Amino acid sequence: MKTLENKVAIITGAGSGIGRSIALLYSSEGAKIVLTDINEQNGNAVLNEIKAKGGEAIFVKTDSSKPADNERVVEETMKKFGALHISVNNAGVGGPLMFTGDYPIEAWDKVISINLSGVFYGMRYQIPAILKSGGGSIVNIASIMGKVGTKGSPAYVAAKHGVVGLTEAAAVEYADQKIRINSIGPGFISTPLLTNTLDEATINVLKGLHPMGRLGTSEEIAELALWLNSDKASFVTGSYYNADGGYLAQ
């Protein structure tokens, strides 16, 4: 039997990077997938990948910063599959690199609304559906910047710290109601968002920040998420797992 056989999973930001890898892996492990992304072309591309491999999935174009969009995703999930057991709240943006005293107000609002409020909105509507389905598991994608700071990304750091705290609060609330909630803190991951925007010299600098001397892969994060969302992690809730090549151990 596959790890996620007969489970229904919502993956936000599933059109590329970590979200795409999680969606593909979960589908291969038997889950029915609800893909969300603001990029319709990317979302449909992943949908087609899953279907080409015999998986079952739907795509719902979603702006995770909007409560109504998050509510609609859950409604579409229940309408199509009749249950919700798993969610991965992954959608996020980086924002500009500027110090706090110069950081644009509009950029702050955007990063917080997507990276932090989007996770809350997701859980706000996912949790009642998971309860109705008999319980399940939520994984929120935070960051190494959910535990430490870095120069030039005040909104991102604040949002990811918030995701870790929100995860812990919700985990305690629902620990006795058969819902486990955990967060993951990836290090710098080789995704299109990174490799398409940074030059080789900058990427090499980022590699050097990790004791392993390389960037992580989205597939490596997906494997950790799979474990957390599976019954193998049945006594794990309220935890933060960093997958960072040793970054936080320094």
138 part of a folded domain: yes
Residue 37 maps to which CATH number? 3.40.50.720
Rounded CA-CA distance 14/190 in Å is 16
Task: Express as a percent the part of the chain with pLDDT over 70.
Answer: 100
137 part of a folded domain: yes
Give the model's pLDDT for residue 195.
77
Q: How many domains, the chain?
A: 1
pLDDT digits (tens, 9 = 90+) for 66-76: 999 999 999 99
DSSP string, 124-164: HHHHHHHHHTT-EEEEEE--GGGTS--TT-HHHHHHHHHHH
Give the model's pLDDT for residue 232.
97
The answer to whether 171 and 181 are in contact (CB under 8 A) is yes
Which pTM does this prediction carry? 0.96
Give the model's pLDDT for residue 139.
98
The answer to whether 15 and 192 are in contact (CB under 8 A) is no
CB atoms within 10 A of CB 177: 10
211 part of a folded domain: no
Taken in order 92, 95, 99, 104, the sign of the CA dihedral is negative
* Closest among 211, 204, 103 to 159, alpha carbons compared: 103
Give the model's pLDDT for residue 185.
98
For residue 247, indicate whether it is catalytic.
no
What's CA 213's distance to the chain center, in Å? 24
Domain housing 140: 8-189+217-249
Give the model's pLDDT for residue 22.
98
Give the model's pLDDT for residue 198.
83
Mean pLDDT of 156-181: 98
Query: Could you give the count of Cα atoms lying within 13 Å of 84 in the half-sphere of its Cβ?
Result: 27
Identify the three-state secondary structure at position 108.
helix
pLDDT digits (tens, 9 = 90+) for 179-190: 999 999 999 999
207 part of a folded domain: no
46 part of a folded domain: yes
- The catalytic residue among 26, 121, 125, 156 is 156
Mean pLDDT over the full length of the chain: 96
- b (16+ CB within 10 A) / e for 97-108: eeeeeebeeebb
Mean pLDDT of 96-100: 95
Mean pLDDT of 224-242: 98
- b (16+ CB within 10 A) / e for 58-96: bbbbbebbbeebbebbbebbbeebebbbbbbbbbbbebb
77 part of a folded domain: yes
pLDDT digits (tens, 9 = 90+) for 197-231: 788 899 999 999 999 999 999 999 999 999 999 99
Residue 139 tokens, joined: 């994984």
pLDDT digits (tens, 9 = 90+) for 124-142: 999 999 999 999 999 999 9
201 part of a folded domain: no
127 part of a folded domain: yes
